[in-house]
């Protein structure tokens, strides 16, 4: 996992500036006074990277929408294209929850397109404000989440959002939080599990970007899958025994486990990476 290190401020310069000022006064009464030194703000591209953002409805308290996005930042603009964002629905914020649905409320039997467009403002020493729109395009129509929160580059804090009525659902509003983290696997990471009675062993490896490859066996048959990580969500596609498969995996870093679902959001099984999982 990677996070941004906090930016060090220049408080250590102030005693030196004060000392030099007093020395000038004592050596001839100079009226020179140095200009205050500006404090640095958060580093550049603080939003760049992989984020998990959880929206909690005030209208439907048991409803959560979780956005996984690989964000790109250009100056004060922040965005994620359709290949860099996805959402799922759940009833709690725990990573091990069974999904109530994969995709947005505007989807029906598949995963639609999700995009994010945002702007950073109110640039302060340690925080900034991120205002953004998440557009959900699915088979049932389109919905737009309008949201705003403060950020220190590693977290989204005090977030609020609204969603106008869309896709057969009433208006919604609530709060949200988010954090930046990334999922990285080496070829030494081996996971074991059982999918509907079939034994599965998988080795995962990350590339230098967000790509992931998977090699393993499914009931003894070797397979190779490729895909990418979006936040804590893994998407893997390929063929097993001549049959096309798409796996969506929700990674739980606390237990080093992956809940795996098919393209319709149906749970296939659990892949465990710890010795006590198998």
Contacts of 141 (CB under 8 A, 6+ apart): 106, 166, 167, 168
3-state secondary structure of 136: strand
CA distance 165 to 112: 18
The CA radius of gyration of the chain, in Å to the nearest whole number, is: 24
Return the CATH number of the domain spanning residue range 189-277: 2.40.128
Task: Residue 129: name the closest of 142, 107, 147 by CA.
Answer: 147
Q: How would you classify residue 100: left for phi > 0, otherwise alpha for psi between -120 and 50, otherwise beta?
A: alpha
Task: Residue 6: name the closest of 52, 51, 39 by CA.
Answer: 39
Task: Residue 1: name the closest of 130, 134, 180, 157 by CA.
Answer: 180
pLDDT at site 43 = 57
Domain ranges within the chain, ordered by starting residue:
49-180, 189-277
**Residue 238 neighbours by CB distance under 10 Å:** 16
Asked if 84 contacts 72 with a C-beta cutoff of 8 angstroms, the reply is yes
Asked if 233 contacts 51 with a C-beta cutoff of 8 angstroms, the reply is no
Buried b (16+ CB within 10 A) or exposed e, 71-106: bbbeeeebbbeeebbbbbbbeeeebebebebbbbbb
CA distance 101 to 59: 18
Domain 49-180 has CATH 2.40.50: no
pLDDT at site 61 = 87
Helices (H), 190-255: none
CA distance 155 to 222: 40
The two domains 49-180 and 189-277 share their CATH topology (first three levels equal): yes
pLDDT at site 177 = 93
pLDDT at site 58 = 95
CA distance 33 to 51: 45
Determine how β-strand 189-195 pairs with β-strand 172-180. unpaired
CA distance 215 to 226: 9
Contacts of 109 (CB under 8 A, 6+ apart): 139, 264
CA distance 17 to 33: 9
Mean pLDDT for back-to-back runs of 10 residues, the chain (278 residues): 36 35 41 42 76 93 89 95 88 60 80 92 90 94 96 94 95 94 82 93 90 94 93 91 92 88 86 66
pLDDT at site 63 = 83
200 CA to centre of own chain: 27
């Amino acid at each position: 996992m990677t996070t941004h290190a906090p930016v060090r401020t220049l408080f250590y310069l102030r005693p030196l500036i004060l000392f030099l000022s007093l020395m000038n006064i004592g050596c001839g009464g100079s009226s020179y006074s140095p200009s205050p030194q500006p404090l640095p703000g958060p580093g550049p591209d603080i939003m760049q990277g992989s984020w998990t953002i959880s929206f909690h409805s005030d209208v439907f308290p048991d409803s959560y929408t979780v956005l996984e996005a690989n964000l790109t930042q250009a100056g004060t603009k922040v965005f994620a294209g359709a290949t860099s964002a996805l959402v799922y629905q759940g009833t709690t914020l725990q990573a091990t929850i069974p999904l109530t649905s994969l995709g947005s409320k505007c989807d029906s039997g598949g995963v639609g397109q999700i995009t994010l467009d945002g702007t950073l403002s109110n640039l302060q020493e340690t925080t900034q404000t991120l205002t953004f729109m998440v557009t959900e395009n699915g088979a049932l129509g389109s919905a737009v989440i309008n949201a705003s929160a403060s950020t220190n580059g590693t977290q989204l804090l005090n977030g609020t959002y609204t969603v106008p009525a869309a896709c057969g659902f009433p208006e919604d509003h609530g709060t949200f939080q988010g954090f930046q983290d990334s999922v990285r696997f080496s070829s030494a990471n081996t996971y074991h599990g059982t999918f509907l009675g079939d034994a599965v062993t998988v080795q995962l490896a990350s590339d230098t970007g967000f790509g992931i490859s998977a090699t393993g066996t499914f009931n003894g048959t070797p397979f190779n899958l490729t895909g990418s990580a979006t936040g804590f969500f893994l998407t893997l596609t390929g063929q097993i025994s001549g049959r096309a498969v798409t796996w969506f995996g929700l990674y739980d870093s606390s237990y080093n486990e992956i809940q795996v679902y098919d393209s319709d959001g149906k749970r296939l099984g659990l892949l465990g990476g710890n010795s006590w999982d198998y």
